Copies of this chain bind each other. A is one copy, B any other.
């Protein structure tokens, strides 16, 4: 295949600097989900770790490099999971971490960022405004800006999931990957195309935040004016050209799913798999629900990429009243 910005040898090297607590996550068949979905389903579970998402794989790489180079400070924009992960990775290495987020971000994510001793700055706008503000801070203070999906370390960290999937790839046919900025999709996709080219790489995005999927389909960056989805972790409006270029090389498809399918997916993961997941982590199940025929009889892996939710909203989404 044509070359992406990623390099499999570097991804293997990334494993060496990531705290093992984030590696070799559970990958297991969940038969209880299968009657309702009409296909074999395995779960790659990225939530059983100190930050409850896959993002620390990337921030471990970034923070390791920064600590090694003596750079004391770092800033990122985040919908919450990257910020929490960077706070965790930075704290352990004595870094001064600033996270910029939308004031509309998931409260539980913001609370955890603060609890991990990061400086949290809120902007009165969406994630794209947070990205601008983080870049301003980096320029002003002369510190490292971590740009999710653009910075190669974030892709390489996510790509270590691909190595773990590739090791088991003989048993499955397709991987469903939540698509936001693209680090997860390009990272995992790169490794699978390199090491397990028979596996179909399918990206899934909400209809309410379709910018990267439309860009992939149009083979050029397409932005949107707004987003309208509960899947906060993937709600970007301005895809990054370099990431799109990689995605065009490694994704076999990119599909859009409805909000009702996302909540149905969350409900199924709770009821049949006993898993609390955030909306972005239910995108894969949503994609199966919307196109059962495509997956009928096949073995599909879905990456459960995060579980950071506000419980009131979660109970509303899955149809249960919140605790009193």
Near B by CB (< 8 A), chain A positions 23-72 give: 24-32, 43, 45, 47-50, 52
A78 located at the interface, meaning its Cβ lies under 8 Å from any Cβ of chain B in the complex:
no
What residues on B are CB-neighbors of A28 within 8 Å?
21, 48-50
* Cross-chain contact B24 with A50 (CB below 8 angstroms): no
- Give CA–CA (A28, B28) in the complex, Å: 19
CB distance from A148 to the nearest CB of B (A): 22
What residues on B are CB-neighbors of A45 within 8 Å?
48
What residues on B are CB-neighbors of A313 within 8 Å?
none
A73 located at the interface, meaning its Cβ lies under 8 Å from any Cβ of chain B in the complex:
no
Residue in B52, B116, B315, B320 whose CB lies within 8 Å of A274: B52
* Cross-chain contact B320 with A32 (CB below 8 angstroms): no
A-B contact pairs, 24 of them (CB 8 A): A25-B26, A26-B26, A26-B49, A28-B48, A29-B50, A30-B50, A32-B112, A32-B115, A45-B48, A47-B274, A267-B323, A270-B276, A271-B323, A274-B276, A274-B307, A274-B308, A274-B309, A276-B276, A315-B320, A318-B323, A319-B324, A320-B320, A320-B322, A321-B321
What residues on B are CB-neighbors of A49 within 8 Å?
26, 28
Residue in B31, B32, B274, B319 whose CB lies within 8 Å of A323: B319
A311 located at the interface, meaning its Cβ lies under 8 Å from any Cβ of chain B in the complex:
yes
What residues on B are CB-neighbors of A30 within 8 Å?
50
* Cross-chain contact A48 with B31 (CB below 8 angstroms): no
Chain A interface, number of residues (Cβ within 8 angstroms): 38
Besides A32-B115, A43-B48, A321-B321, 13 more A-B contacts (Cβ < 8 Å) are A21-B26, A21-B27, A26-B26, A26-B48, A28-B49, A48-B48, A267-B323, A270-B311, A274-B276, A274-B308, A320-B320, A320-B321, A320-B322
A280-324 near B? 1/0 per residue, CB < 8 Å? 000000000000000000000000000111010001001111111
A129 located at the interface, meaning its Cβ lies under 8 Å from any Cβ of chain B in the complex:
no
What residues on B are CB-neighbors of A194 within 8 Å?
none
CB distance from A146 to the nearest CB of B (A): 22
* Cross-chain contact A31 with B115 (CB below 8 angstroms): yes
* Cβ-closest chain B residue relative to A318: B323
* Cβ-closest chain B residue relative to A322: B320
CB distance from A113 to the nearest CB of B (A): 12
A275 located at the interface, meaning its Cβ lies under 8 Å from any Cβ of chain B in the complex:
yes
Near B by CB (< 8 A), chain A positions 257-276 give: 267, 270-271, 274-276
Near B by CB (< 8 A), chain A positions 215-263 give: none
CB distance from A300 to the nearest CB of B (A): 16
A105-117 near B? 1/0 per residue, CB < 8 Å? 0000000100110
CB distance from A150 to the nearest CB of B (A): 29
CB distance from A274 to the nearest CB of B (A): 4
CB distance from A34 to the nearest CB of B (A): 9
What residues on B are CB-neighbors of A112 within 8 Å?
32
- Give CA–CA (A307, B318) in the complex, Å: 18
CB distance from A160 to the nearest CB of B (A): 16
